Structure 1
Amino acid sequence: MAEGDPWRDKAEHEGIPRNSGLYSRHSIVQCENASLEMCTLMNCLGYGPHIRQARRDAYREADRLNNARGTGIITMVTTGSKAEGLTRFLESDVDTMYVVEGIMCLENGVDSDKIPRETTVFTLITGVCYHGHSRLNLLELRGDIIPSIIRDALCEDENGRVLLSSALFVDVDNDRTSAPNVIRHERAGPSLPSSSGPFHTDNVYSLRCHCPVILSRWAERTRHWPPPDIVRKVVTMESFVTPVGFKGSEYQHVEWRICFNTAENELMSSLNNTQVYIYVLLKMVVKDVLKPVKKEITSYTVKNIVLWLAENNPQAQFNESSLFYWLREGLEKLRTAILKIELPYYMIPERNLMEACGLDEGQKCTWVYTITDMMNEGSNTLLRLPRIRKAIISHPEPLAWYNKKRVELELLALNFRNRTEQCMDKNGVINRSDPMHQAILSRIVELVREVHKRMNREGSRLNDLIEIYDMMLM
């Protein structure tokens, strides 16, 4: 990395907001060179545009294959970092949303006449809940067969209106029997986490939602980003409600949270490389430096900071030579959110993402001081991040060689999973004689052996090929 600490400049130089009186031209060039080097490193670490797109395509195909084999009652949608293409095959949880078909939740005042007659309709009652949350009032029970997860979660409020209980909805699903090799974990918000070997999944059951007024308010904001075509696309995309009420609410057992998962996937896909790298680095700061224990701050907090940065600033200023400037801006926004316990939700600004986050005064002060120190450290702050520190040490040749092998292995692993799904019959039996299935597996074994051989040559005594495979994909 280039030396010096000029990334705090705020003069106008080649489209980057800086103060030219603070640093010399030489320091500015150092900052830009360091930013360019960091972008190259991020690409080597698996965050470049090509691998991101390959991951997105693979998970969309996995969803298509799984839904084609399903009963049609539930539709599976991969969301979060996997759908964004920002995490490796075994890195972090897979966020999976299971959408119950035949149900639609409508914003109050929206005409239900165009909804298919067999669809059961609920009305969003938002006025009695915290911003971004709602109760679901049964408008019309349609169809001959109502899914048990819906029927068993119906209840009445104090006025005799039929509501859908979020608490009962989760309980009904939580009572279902899991596959023999799946371990279910304690509920976390709307999620029912589970794991099977190295695979960890956050499972969220949800319902489709149509809320044109909320999306229109979002679309009408004055902005630099996203471009008009993406705004128009987002407005037409599906929304959802998930079974979790506002923390501390007396009625959270009948409250639901309004979400825009697929729209947010589209927005994240339209960020440029510099914006994506800022997001990834800020997530590393939260995970590896702040280390929240009770999810007081999450990657979703960081995502909203980056979305606001993108919307409120000219896109030409987000270039590879300005990475460090915008990373500092992101850290400042994160520090302010912690200090004030306030961060507006990007889709519904009235909802404060930091509200009821459980952050105590001592922890708040510690994190504010830590982030302030990082902002003053300049580019050296990246040495606090284990993955970046290791990459800098091994850069360039060993990292380039290993990254080439790791990226190929990850693409093979994604394709192998999807090919396995294609080779599976209705009873779950896999046709392992399939030539493509065998070819992919053969190349995976060959790649892991290559890495194992070099590791041994350089002094490692790790000989478990499965462990090496897992480590490469984490």
Structure 2
Amino acid sequence: MFQQPGYIENVSLRLSEVLADIGVNERITLKRRRAMLLVESMYACSYQIIDANNFSYVFGSQSEGTTTPGLKSDTDQLMCINNCNVIQDWADWEPGVLNLLMIQDETVSPGYCLLQRLRDDAPLPCNHVPDKYHCRDRTGRVLKKNIIMTDSLAVVFGGGERHGPAYAEQGRPGTADSDTVLALTCKSWPLQARQRLDWQGVGEWPSNVMKRYCSNTGCFVVGVGSKGSQNEEFEWRISTSLAERCLMFNLNITQIRCYVLMKMILKTFIKPHFEDNISSFMCKTVLFHCIANTSDIWRENNLLVCLSICLFVLYNSILNENCSHFLIPRNNLMRGHISLEYKPYILEILLYIINSEGRVLLEIECDGLCARLWLKLSYLLSFKTNDIVSGQLLHLTARCVDQFLLEYTIIFIRNSGYAEAIQQLLKAIFKLVITSTQCQGLDKTASSLMARWYCTTLGSVLASLNIQQHNAISAEALTWVSLGLNTDVASGKLKLASMFYCIGDTQRAEIVLRDIERSYDLNIVEPICLCNCVINDQAFRREFNAICDNHNEEVIKYTTANCVKFLPCEINCVPHELRHEMFRSTQEDLAFRGLIFVDGWMDLAVVDSLPYLYFLQYKTYSSLGRQEDKQRALSNVVRTINQEPNLGHRETAMNLLGQCMEKED
């Protein structure tokens, strides 16, 4: 079939168009990368606020922009613990810190190392075993056991499902599955990868600029040994994830589409039967080798040939059970992974796919690829999903802001008094302002997004203190609240309206509420809540997706509405009907609480923005004696509870409604 004139070009172009329609195009790829890098910046800001010497990276398909909605890729998070100095050269030893020497000799599996404990007062080996996570080997070296990392993860996450060295979080509604790995950082490029810096591929890829960047990224060591190794308990896997991300960021769109197609083939034909034999990382490595050893073939009208070459190299790798890590060539990724029982069947499937000359793509249902390709080959239009992907990315960004606000500050001060809460919030704001002033790019964006939320919370805490002392609100409190009014459509303004209502200033409360209702477009605005993850897996509003497709995180303030969170020290800014939420747990309930990061919100009063807007309107119009408006607000509360699918706190809304109904007798 390849011999038919124009066949390759025609199918390749139609296939490229189909992939572009489902979000595998330059624009959506860049939006994906921006969203994930912004999440990294928010992690950095959050760690800085709580004085944690850590850093988190988001690796894998989500940050590379090499996924689709149908692939349902995990989010891979690598948390770096920077409390020790991992070195490869004795000259890098530092006094007064925990120094660990990477040992990479013939006794260690390729791609792995041992970590030898050194003294902190002199560049000499440590002679004593400090704790259960260290052990002396046969040569007398004190080595660090890799189990310390998984034990640390168990403490942080409270157990959970283990995937090798990772903690796996799966099945949370509205949230992508995630794998979190703890790692130590080494500032220098691994010795085992240095020969790759001197090697030049046929297509002059990687370029000298890319290799220079990679050599400056250093590496990570992850707490897992090579399967079957005699040192499995002490080996640490060397990770070059930052360098690999650099390589991925320098692929052209045809290379990215080729990788996505390989993952679709893997998901459709191999993983359902042979789950753990072939990984997407092996496919990525095969792609790297193919790009480095070819030139001038990676074009849209040649996509089918590019895919066939990659599949043929993958076939040979499985046949020989050898897929060398692109940056650490001696590390065979397939060692111990290809089952002798399944190997013939996997090879048979790959051979069938290769010989099909592209026809097999019409069997892939992931993202409706088969149907879309039929439509394209029949010269009919295909439905585009770029706006859906854009909506998912902006929703993710807004959820991450909410997550960091909840997890890294609010839950740590949820039981604090006024003085401590004010001090901690000021500290967070000042750190974020400094970051925003001194940094550029996404770090500046992340700190600006987060700082406004803290300003509103600080203003509300000050107002609560003012109300307790004087039944009034100071100009200072109003100033702080005003700095965060436009973080989203409603939550900041609802705190302001709630403050006015609680001091009896119903006129000003009504003005603020009217402004919120005018801004809250029910056809656009999406609720945001990360408290208890009960949000249904509903499609986002079409107009929300359309706006997101043309903008980035700057439209959060027009398109999202976070749930409203009140700390106990904001209690005087909360109507009495909602205050009971702060005392929902008995001592028996507390005994069954989960992690602080999961259940910490239960000590707060939390309510979705839209039902709280209508509830406050009901209360305000009741005070003002506007009966018709009061009944309209009550009807809106009922309608929201019945019709809004994405409420995170439906029970709270029903509680408020019940108390309104009591008022109505």
Structure 1 residue matching 2:181: 3-state secondary structure: strand
Aligned to 2:83: 102
Whether 1:124 and 2:102 are equivalent positions in the alignment is yes
Q: 1:123 to 1:434 in 2, by over 3 A?
A: same
Q: 1:420 to 1:355 in 2, by over 3 A?
A: same
Aligned to 1:455: none
Task: Measure the CA separation in 2 of the matches of 1:130 and 1:255.
Answer: 8
Whether 1:308 and 2:289 are equivalent positions in the alignment is yes
- Selected match of 2:305 from 307, 325, 330: 325
* Aligned sequence identity (%): 22
Task: Measure the CA separation in 1 of the matches of 2:168 and 2:330.
Answer: 29
| Cα deviation 1:331-350 (Å, max 9, x = unaligned) | 11111111111111101111
Report the residue type matching 1:79 in the other structure: F
- Selected match of 2:394 from 412, 427, 451: 412
Aligned to 1:366: 345
The question of whether the paired residues in 2 share the 8 Å contact of 1:239 and 1:258 is answered with: yes
Task: Measure the CA separation in 2 of the matches of 1:244 and 1:217.
Answer: 24
- Selected match of 1:69 from 46, 52, 59: 46
In the TM superposition, 1:191-230 aligns within 5 A as: 191-195=166-170, 196-197=172-173, 198-209=175-186, 210-211=188-189, 213-223=191-201, 224=203, 225-230=205-210
Task: Give unmatched runs, 5+ long, in structure 1.
Answer: 7-22, 144-149, 453-462, 468-474
Task: Measure the CA separation in 1 of the matches of 2:248 and 2:520.
Answer: 30
Structure 2 residue matching 1:99: 3-state secondary structure: strand
Aligned to 1:342: 322
Whether 1:269 and 2:245 are equivalent positions in the alignment is no
The question of whether the paired residues in 2 share the 8 Å contact of 1:101 and 1:207 is answered with: yes
Q: Provide TM-score, normalisation by structure 1.
A: 0.80
Flag the structure with more relative contact order, 1 or 2, with Cα contacts below 8 A and sequence separation at least 6. Answer: 1
Whether 1:140 and 2:124 are equivalent positions in the alignment is no
Structure index of larger Rg: 2
Q: Residue 404 of structure 1: CA displacement?
A: 4.1
Aligned to 2:657: none
| Cα deviation 1:113-136 (Å, max 9, x = unaligned) | 5x5x45422111121111111111
The question of whether the paired residues in 2 share the 8 Å contact of 1:120 and 1:142 is answered with: no
Aligned to 1:10: none
The question of whether the paired residues in 1 share the 8 Å contact of 2:318 and 2:338 is answered with: no
Task: Measure the CA separation in 1 of the matches of 2:372 and 2:147.
Answer: 45
The question of whether the paired residues in 2 share the 8 Å contact of 1:215 and 1:235 is answered with: no
The question of whether the paired residues in 2 share the 8 Å contact of 1:152 and 1:172 is answered with: no
Q: 1:212 to 1:411 in 2, by over 3 A?
A: closer
Q: 1:293 to 1:426 in 2, by over 3 A?
A: same
In the TM superposition, 1:432-447 aligns within 5 A as: 434-438=485-489, 443=524, 445=526
Aligned to 1:380: 359
Task: Measure the CA separation in 2 of the matches of 1:126 and 1:441.
Answer: 60
| Cα deviation 1:334-367 (Å, max 9, x = unaligned) | 1111111111110111111111114123x11111
Task: Give unmatched runs, 5+ long, in structure 2.
Answer: 123-129, 415-452, 458-483, 490-518, 528-538, 545-642, 648-665
The question of whether the paired residues in 2 share the 8 Å contact of 1:78 and 1:97 is answered with: yes
Structure 2 residue matching 1:252: 3-state secondary structure: coil
- Selected match of 2:35 from 58, 75, 94: 58
Aligned to 1:40: 17
